[in-house]
Amino acid sequence: MTDKRSETCLYPFVELSDRDEYPDGTKFEVIHTHDGRGAGIRTRTPFERGERLCKVSGQIVASRRLHTLQINENVHLYDPHFTGLLLHSCDPNVFLNMVDMELWALKHIEPGELLTMDYASTETVLSRQFACQCGAPNCRGWIAGSKESPHRPDGTLTAVIGDTATICEAH
Ligand SMILES: [Zn+2]
């Protein structure tokens, strides 16, 4: 048998899955949320703050689409198996280093937690901006890419304070 592929690697690529630094099903599981956010990644093991969770991979594509993460303006990583499933939070527990293609823990992570990243940390433009309900005290409310104006579905611009986009809600 030349196929040494791990049965538990979340990536279906033989060349990656026989190396244990890629996301493994004994440490992570793909789940489907019932709150409309779609799929997500949940941990099965704890991670310490500052620990590297895994290396990541995917296909290099020229344009953004569902399940891509931006490497630069014209280069995107298409990964529908792992990174493309990470949910957004304005107070995320992981950071994706798109230069080294590694996922790092920003805080202590318990088994069973959903992994979250800040979409604006990789994307300059989002294919679809959205209202965030992450519940973090620093929640930006409306999520846009890091280099685009936040605009609501009806086309109106939200207020921009400094570099941080904020929706001004009338209470
Ligand atoms: Zn938020």
CB-based contacts of 26: which residues, under 8 Å, 6+ apart? 8, 44, 45
pLDDT tens track for 124-163:
999 899 999 999 999 999 999 999 998 876 666 654 443 3
CB-based contacts of 65: which residues, under 8 Å, 6+ apart? 76, 78, 127
**CATH superfamily of the domain spanning 14-123:** SET domain (2.170.270.10)
Integer Cα distance of 33 and 24 in angstroms: 20
Q: Is the pLDDT confidence value at 4 over 60?
A: no
Task: Tell me how far the alpha carbon of residue 113 lies from the centroid of ligand 1, in angstroms.
Answer: 17
Q: Is the pLDDT confidence value at 87 over 90?
A: yes
Q: Going by DSSP bridges, is the β-strand pair 116-117/130-131 parallel, antiparallel, or unpaired? A: unpaired
Task: Tell me how far the alpha carbon of residue 150 lies from the centroid of ligand 1, in angstroms.
Answer: 14
Domain ranges of the chain: 14-123
Task: Tell me how far the alpha carbon of residue 71 lies from the centroid of ligand 1, in angstroms.
Answer: 23
Task: Tell me how far the alpha carbon of residue 92 lies from the centroid of ligand 1, in angstroms.
Answer: 9
Task: Give the helix ranges, DSSP H, for 63-122.
Answer: none
Integer Cα distance of 108 and 52 in angstroms: 12
Assessment of whether the complete model's pTM goes beyond 0.75: yes
* Per-residue pLDDT at 153: 67
Q: Which of the four pLDDT bands, split at 50, 70 and 90, describes residue 17?
A: low
